[in-house]
């Protein structure tokens, strides 16, 4: 079952979404034309007098990496989408830029007065990797309102208690100080690290609780700083920093660092953005909030599988729910690309000038139809040739002449696909 199709009239007013079969008949009879490919929207060629509108509910399940969207009309899920954020990529690029900036400051070049002590972050400031989640969700909410008669927005407003996640029994002074005094964490660590030594991978041997960052060097007793190690590895590491102990195994070092904070990282991202997200959505439409417990209860009650867009459909207090689609739109945030005027080599020296965009009317990221095969793919134009790079998801890029391409969707910072 495919997503319903959005419909707008000649005055660009949203009408009730319709099944794909009905939309196909309108297109075949010439009564409508394709207005937009993603999300698929058609525009009627004749005006509709006094249309009967059934308002929809836009339901959102915010996540740290993927956010689920669902449109519900008369207790029926008619459209779904999963939006994959790029907060991790933004963080990586900011760290790379920071390294270059600090390296420039330490070089013996022209003196530049420091400015960081004179800057003040505004109230409600969020890191760019988290602000991106809010702005992207806001963009898609405004976009969907243009194509669908949405009455209100339902959003899951979850608050994760990270200390309760570490220790459900913690209370009193222990809860206030944030330490796990007297609490046995072995079972938690056994599940987290797969019942094996973190450093050598041995199984079925006695394991000891090990501080990743040595306690003698300021390491804490928090679960994010604990792992399991066999006696031999524990003795060899001693009080060495993990960077020194695993300097010959950089891949293992990175894996341990990523896994150490994994349980709390996503929860912290959701906690930091939940209030601001609701505030931003309230400026667009009326908002109804739900809890994570309600979402899980509804999903289990109806017997639905665990998917982000299905979680979104289950947000709030609902009695019945029917899935009219099983093929959500998959959207991946890619950004609009760089604005460098020149390409640089690994030493930072310019090697060529980047051409001005668009190139022959095309931009990198445009989605086009291959007239030879009927497939849809991404276009990367060339300035010195009429043959462009053409990439179909999951396949290698090929060279295709521009006369064999028809653009169906202009670059907008996202890539699109469908759940198979």
The answer to whether residues 365 and 301 belong to one domain is: no
Q: What is the CATH number of the domain that holds 376?
A: 2.30.30
Pairing between β-strand 150-156 and β-strand 56-61 as defined by DSSP bridges: parallel
Of all helices (H) and strands (E), which one includes residue 70? strand 66-73
The answer to whether residues 193 and 73 belong to one domain is: no
Can you give the residue range of the structural domain that contains 359?
A: 355-411
Q: Which residues contact 235 (CB under 8 A, 6 or more apart)?
A: none
In a domain, 177, yes or no: no
In a domain, 390, yes or no: yes
Across all residues in the chain, what is the average pLDDT? 86
pLDDT at 44 over 80: yes
In a domain, 269, yes or no: no
pLDDT tier for residue 103 given thresholds of 50, 70 and 90 = confident
The answer to whether residues 323 and 374 belong to one domain is: no
The answer to whether residues 46 and 146 belong to one domain is: yes
Quote the CA–CA distance of 70 and 317 in Å, as a whole number. 15
Q: What is the CATH number of the domain that holds 217?
A: 1.10.30
The answer to whether residues 79 and 190 belong to one domain is: no
In a domain, 244, yes or no: yes
In a domain, 172, yes or no: no
The helix/strand count (H/E) of the chain reads as 12, 20
User: In this predicted model, what pLDDT tens digit does every residue of 249-304 receive, in sequence order?
Assistant: 989 998 898 888 766 666 678 888 888 999 999 999 999 999 888 898 999 899 99
The answer to whether residues 29 and 92 belong to one domain is: yes
The answer to whether residues 146 and 2 belong to one domain is: yes
What single string gives the DSSP state of each residue in 19-62? -HHHHHHHHHTTSEEEEETTTTEEEESS--SS-----EEEEEE-
In a domain, 285, yes or no: no
The answer to whether residues 71 and 129 belong to one domain is: yes
Report the pLDDT value the prediction gives residue 178, as an integer from 0 to 100: 47
Report the pLDDT value the prediction gives residue 175, as an integer from 0 to 100: 47
pLDDT at 154 over 80: yes
Quote the CA–CA distance of 205 and 217 in Å, as a whole number. 28
pLDDT tier for residue 412 given thresholds of 50, 70 and 90 = very high
The answer to whether residues 196 and 246 belong to one domain is: yes
- Is 225 in contact with 212 (CB distance < 8 Å)? yes
The answer to whether residues 311 and 203 belong to one domain is: no
**Whole-structure pTM value:** 0.76
Report the pLDDT value the prediction gives residue 264, as an integer from 0 to 100: 62
> What's the total number of domains in the chain?
3
Closest-CA residue to 157 (of 262, 57, 53, 288):
288
Q: Check residues 312 and 384 and name the one with the higher pLDDT.
A: 312
Report the pLDDT value the prediction gives residue 98, as an integer from 0 to 100: 85
The answer to whether residues 33 and 137 belong to one domain is: yes
In a domain, 281, yes or no: no
User: In this predicted model, what pLDDT tens digit does every residue of 160-198 receive, in sequence order?
Assistant: 555 555 555 555 545 444 433 433 467 667 767 888 999
pLDDT at 111 over 70: no
The answer to whether residues 28 and 83 belong to one domain is: yes
Report the pLDDT value the prediction gives residue 263, as an integer from 0 to 100: 61
Q: Kindly state the tokens that stand for 114.
A: 């420091």
């Amino acid at each position: 079952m495919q997503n319903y199709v959005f419909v707008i009239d000649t005055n660009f007013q949203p009408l009730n979404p319709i099944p794909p079969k009905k939309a196909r008949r309108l297109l075949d009879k010439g009564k409508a034309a394709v207005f937009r490919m993603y999300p698929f929207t058609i525009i009627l060629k004749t005006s509709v007098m006094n249309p009967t509108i059934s308002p929809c509910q836009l339901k959102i399940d915010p996540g740290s990496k993927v956010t689920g969207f669902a449109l519900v009309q008369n207790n029926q899920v008619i459209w779904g989408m999963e939006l994959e954020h790029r907060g991790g990529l933004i963080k990586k690029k900011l760290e790379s830029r920071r390294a270059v900036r600090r390296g420039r400051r330490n070089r013996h070049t022209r003196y530049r007065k420091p400015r960081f002590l004179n800057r003040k972050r505004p109230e409600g400031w969020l890191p760019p990797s988290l602000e991106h989640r809010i702005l992207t969700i806001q963009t898609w909410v405004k976009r969907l309102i243009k194509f669908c008669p949405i009455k209100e927005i339902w959003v899951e407003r979850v608050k994760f208690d990270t200390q309760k996640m570490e220790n459900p029994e913690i209370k009193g002074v222990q809860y206030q100080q944030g330490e796990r005094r007297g609490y046995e964490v072995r079972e938690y660590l056994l599940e987290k690290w797969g019942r094996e030594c973190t450093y050598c991978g041995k199984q079925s041997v006695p394991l000891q609780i090990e501080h990743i960052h040595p306690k003698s060097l300021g390491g804490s007793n928090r679960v994010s700083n604990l792992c399991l190690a066999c006696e031999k590895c524990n003795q060899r590491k001693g009080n060495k920093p993990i960077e020194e102990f695993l300097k010959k195994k950089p891949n293992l070092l990175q894996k341990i660092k990523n896994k150490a904070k994994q349980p709390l990282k996503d929860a912290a991202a959701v906690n930091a953005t939940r209030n601001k997200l609701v505030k931003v959505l309230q400026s667009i439409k009326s908002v109804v909030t739900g809890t994570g417990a309600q979402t899980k209860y509804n999903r289990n009650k109806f017997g639905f599988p665990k998917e982000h867009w299905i979680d979104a459909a289950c947000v709030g207090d609902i009695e019945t729910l029917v899935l009219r689609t099983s093929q959500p739109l998959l959207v991946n945030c890619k950004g609009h690309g760089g604005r460098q005027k020149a390409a640089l080599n690994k030493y930072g020296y310019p090697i060529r000038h980047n051409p001005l965009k668009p190139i022959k009317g095309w931009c990198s990221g445009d989605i086009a139809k291959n007239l030879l095969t009927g497939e849809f793919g991404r276009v990367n134009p060339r300035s010195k040739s009429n043959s462009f790079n053409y990439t179909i998801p999951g396949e290698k890029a090929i060279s295709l002449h521009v006369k064999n391409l028809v653009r169906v969707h202009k670059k907008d910072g996202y890539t699109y696909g469908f759940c198979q």
